[in-house]
Amino acid sequence: MIERVVSVLREVGDELVLPRFRNLTEGEVLEKSPGDIVTIVDRQAERELETRLTALLHGSLAVGEEAVAADHRVLERIGDPGPVWLIDPIDGTGNFAAGKEPFALMVALLRGGNPVLAVIYEPVPGTVTTAELGSGSYIDGVRTTMDQTPVSKPGDMSGALATTYLPESLKEQVISRASLLGRAMPPQYCAGREYPNLIRGEQHFTLFWRSLPWDHAPGALITREAGGVVRHFDGTDYDPAQPRLGLLACRDEEVFHLAKHTLLE
């Protein structure tokens, strides 16, 4: 199944998304809510992904980011006991619309609201990151697990801090404490790049505020299958069927507690 899902994302990315990269007209970039943009390519790609993915699995449903934006009731499908495709047609739309990297197509297959399969495809540079429940995580076909080099203090860690949507007081706290880290990294504005970077060992953690299911269900499965944790600030595991604000995706349990203590307590 996962090979067929990868093929679908590659096809849609290469046929519809990549040809429009740096090739959008002004009228093809829209604002669906204040500060939240969408392109016509997002909508076209989502429709095509939904058609092709549901054809792979008889009786499956789809929940796409743009379909939910048009009708919030679509989100109720996430908890369906049967198979549900969770679709982010272009993650990092702001980057894509600005003609810069990174951006990605992301899909997770849910059963009973729980991710069992995930694929992230980055048309530029052509990277595919995948995971299946119980079978590990892979980047371009190579199994990838988290680096286990011990960390004992904040200065041992690097982390990406997506602070844009944090409440102002918490944003000020996180920014002020970032100097305690060995390296505080700017966000990629694309979860489809942040999660692969995490399992590649390029950073120990990423801090997010918004935890929308299409942004994080694929990466959460990929992170967990590589040995990491994805948890809310209070320590509860991320659940795409019940998303809440505030999220730390971390290399391991040790990093989660150290990052939480350093930045949030």
65 is in an annotated binding site: yes
Summarize the confidence of residues 198-226 as an average pLDDT.
Answer: 97
* Length reported for the chain: 265
The domain 2-143 is classified under which CATH number: 1.20.140.10, 1.10.3720.10, 3.40.190.10, 3.30.540.10?
3.30.540.10
Residue intervals in the chain for CATH 3.30.540.10: 2-143
Residue type for position 254? E
Residue 35 has pLDDT above 80, yes or no: no
This prediction has a pTM of 0.96
Amino acid 148: pLDDT: 87
Amino acid 154: pLDDT: 96
Residue type for position 187? P
265 is in an annotated binding site: no
* Gap between the Cα atoms of 220 and 152, Å rounded: 24
Amino acid 243: pLDDT: 79
40 is in an annotated binding site: no
Query: Percent of the chain at pLDDT above 90?
Result: 94
Sequence-separated (6 or more) residues with CB below 8 Å from residue 138: 129, 130, 131, 144
Summarize the confidence of residues 1-5 as an average pLDDT.
Answer: 96
189: closest CA among 34, 42, 39, 37?
37
Backbone phi, psi, residue 172, to 5°: -60, -40
Amino acid 34: pLDDT: 78
Radius of gyration of the chain from Cα atoms?
18
Amino acid 222: pLDDT: 98
Residue labelled with tokens 């996180």: 174
Residue 11 has pLDDT above 90, yes or no: yes
Residue 32 has pLDDT above 90, yes or no: no
Omega of the bond leading into 125 within 30 degrees of 0 (cis) = yes
90 is in an annotated binding site: yes
- The token pair at 222 is 């990929």
225 is in an annotated binding site: no
Residue 187 has pLDDT above 80, yes or no: yes
146: closest CA among 2, 235, 249, 236?
249
Amino acid 174: pLDDT: 97
CB-side neighbour CA atoms (13 Å) of 109: 20
pLDDT one-digit tens code per residue, 113-160: 999 999 999 999 999 999 999 999 999 999 999 998 999 899 999 999
The mean pLDDT of the chain is 96
Residue intervals in the chain for CATH 3.40.190.80: 154-263
Mention the CATH class of domain 154-263: alpha beta
